[in-house]
Amino acid sequence: MAEGCTEPHIGHGKIILFGEHAVVHGCPALAMALPRGASARASVATEDRLHLMPFDTHVRLSGDAQPKNAAGDGSAEQPGPSEHGAKLRAALADALAETPRDRPKLAIEAELHVPAGAGLGASAALSVAVIRAIDAALGRARSDPDMVAASLRWERAFHGNPSGVDSAMATHGGVALYRKGEPLAQVPVVTPPPLIVAYSGHAPSTKAMVDSVARQLERDPERIRGTFEGIEAIVNNGRTALELGDFRRLGQLMTLNQQLLNTLLLSTTQLEVLCRAAMDAGALGAKLTGGGGGGCMIAVCEDWDAAERVRARLSEFDPDAFVVGAGATP
């Protein structure tokens, strides 16, 4: 049994290069883990509790049923003190339910390093960091497939019907092709693409966006299935472009994928403004990433200097816009 504070454990955030939403319905998606995501450490305490920064959200499994922020006045931003806090509490309870009955109580300090609800896989990253911290504090080890399964259970508290891509990427890192129910296929990338990520503003829950696409599929199966087929072709071509280091092709495919996501009503005015600004500043292509309806966009450039110029332009809209791989923290 490890006493005191353990080292921080991390889970990766991710961006989806191609294939979001279609992946929920059985198509592949191409995803890239971010060096940043979430970190957590666990130590022996008198009760099971979790403190999540930067929201200062406190979740306790004994005593108070109502998760609170530090002030206890319900003023925390998302994940808020009520709905998000309650989901966090349920997810934590589930993660701890599979630990031995005679284990010590644990205090978990966790921190998100990517914005929540932005399409960067924050909740999956958090789940992996927290579960790794719990395992380390209890001197337990688990296989990667077991970690993905545990993360997926956590994710279900937040997303309803997640494809599993976030949990797989949060656990494994790297670049990978993901198809629901299949093991992650790592994609060798010799020359990493210069990518920029910018946040367009708060998004509705991923579940709301996934539900919206499911409703469209129910109403007009032929058209939506056709869109998914188009996205699948983009995913496969995107993989080849990535392996070849053909960033021009990668950019074209991103813009094409964005057009198809737009027909699924997943883009917003602000996402379009960001994509346009990135293109005007010299990007080769741009698209939303993740659930859409807000959240983040990504753009790809020819080289790192161009990426820096695009980042500078996008920072006029999002001061935290960043180049993937440059100056990243856990």
Using CB under 6 A, list all residues that contact ligand PMV: 16, 20-21, 23-24, 119-121, 162-163, 165-166, 206, 210, 290-291
- How many whole angstroms separate alpha carbon 118 and alpha carbon 134? 26
Give DSSP secondary structure letters for 222-239.
HHHHHHHHHHHHHHHHHH
**CA-based nearest residue to 193, from 149, 161, 241, 143:** 241
Task: Specify the residue, 16 or 157, whose C-beta has the smaller distance to ligand PMV.
Answer: 16
Smallest distance, ligand PMV to C-beta of residue 119, A: 4
Other C-beta atoms lying within 10 Å of the C-beta of residue 75? 12
Smallest distance, ligand PMV to C-beta of residue 329, A: 19
Smallest distance, ligand PMV to C-beta of residue 261, A: 10
- How many whole angstroms separate alpha carbon 297 and alpha carbon 290? 8
28: preceding bond cis by omega (within 30 degrees): no
Smallest distance, ligand PMV to C-beta of residue 3, A: 36
Task: Specify the residue, 66 or 205, whose C-beta has the smaller distance to ligand PMV.
Answer: 205
Task: Specify the residue, 35 or 282, whose C-beta has the smaller distance to ligand PMV.
Answer: 35
Task: Specify the residue, 180 or 309, whose C-beta has the smaller distance to ligand PMV.
Answer: 180
Smallest distance, ligand PMV to C-beta of residue 280, A: 26
End-to-end CA distance of the chain: 26
Give DSSP secondary structure letters for 307-324.
HHHHHHHHTTT-TT-EET
Task: Specify the residue, 133 or 298, whose C-beta has the smaller distance to ligand PMV.
Answer: 298
Task: Specify the residue, 30 or 134, whose C-beta has the smaller distance to ligand PMV.
Answer: 30
Contact status, residue 118 vs residue 44, Cβ threshold 8 Å: no
Contact status, residue 314 vs residue 323, Cβ threshold 8 Å: no
Note the maximum CA span of the chain.
Answer: 60
Length of the chain: 330
Smallest distance, ligand PMV to C-beta of residue 138, A: 28
Amino acid at 18: F
Task: Specify the residue, 121 or 238, whose C-beta has the smaller distance to ligand PMV.
Answer: 121
Smallest distance, ligand PMV to C-beta of residue 224, A: 14
Name the packing angle between helices 144-159 and 165-172 (round to 10°): 140
